Amino acid sequence: MKLDGMRSWIVLAFMATIGLLMNAQSPAHTPPSSPTPTPQPSEELPVIDGGVGPCSIVFTVTDATGKPIYAANVKVHIAYGFAGIRKLDLEAGTNTQGKVKFKGLPIKVHNPPLEFNASKDQLVGIATYDPATECQALHDIMLDKRKAAAGY
């Protein structure tokens, strides 16, 4: 009796293995792919969501002549909550129109205004924003050449 039970298990295991092998499909032949196209700069407005409040700000980053700057990096450090104990660091790049949006920002921040720092290569700029006085805002950041630090 024990032998018959063991044979049943062996047969079942063998059948399961055969079934798995038969269901396994070989990968389909795919034609050679064409070269990967170069990604195009996006015109879609990049949005970064802090997820901690109702406020938002849209920046347009330009050079000194007013030309929008693509792929400029904009970042901010936000301290909020009781005694500024909560911290949030956000960073995003601009689209082809030099625009980027930060949303989900808290109304009350520790030591307002917030300071947004933008940079691209050797160009830098700063914009300030106080969500308590203008929860929904549009601001410009003009980038200019970095100033050499004064040595003492």
CATH-assigned architecture of domain 47-145 = Sandwich (2.60)
Q: b/e for 3-15, b at 16 or more Cβ within 10 A?
A: eeeeeeeeeeeee
pLDDT in tens, 37-83: 555 677 899 999 999 999 999 999 999 999 999 999 999 999 999 98
**Looking at residues 98-112, what average pLDDT do you find?**
97
* Neighbouring C-beta atoms of residue 137, cutoff 10 Å: 17
Looking at residue 152, its pLDDT comes to 44
* Neighbouring C-beta atoms of residue 78, cutoff 10 Å: 21
Any idea what the Cα angle at residue 73 is, between residues 67 and 76, rounded to 5°? 120
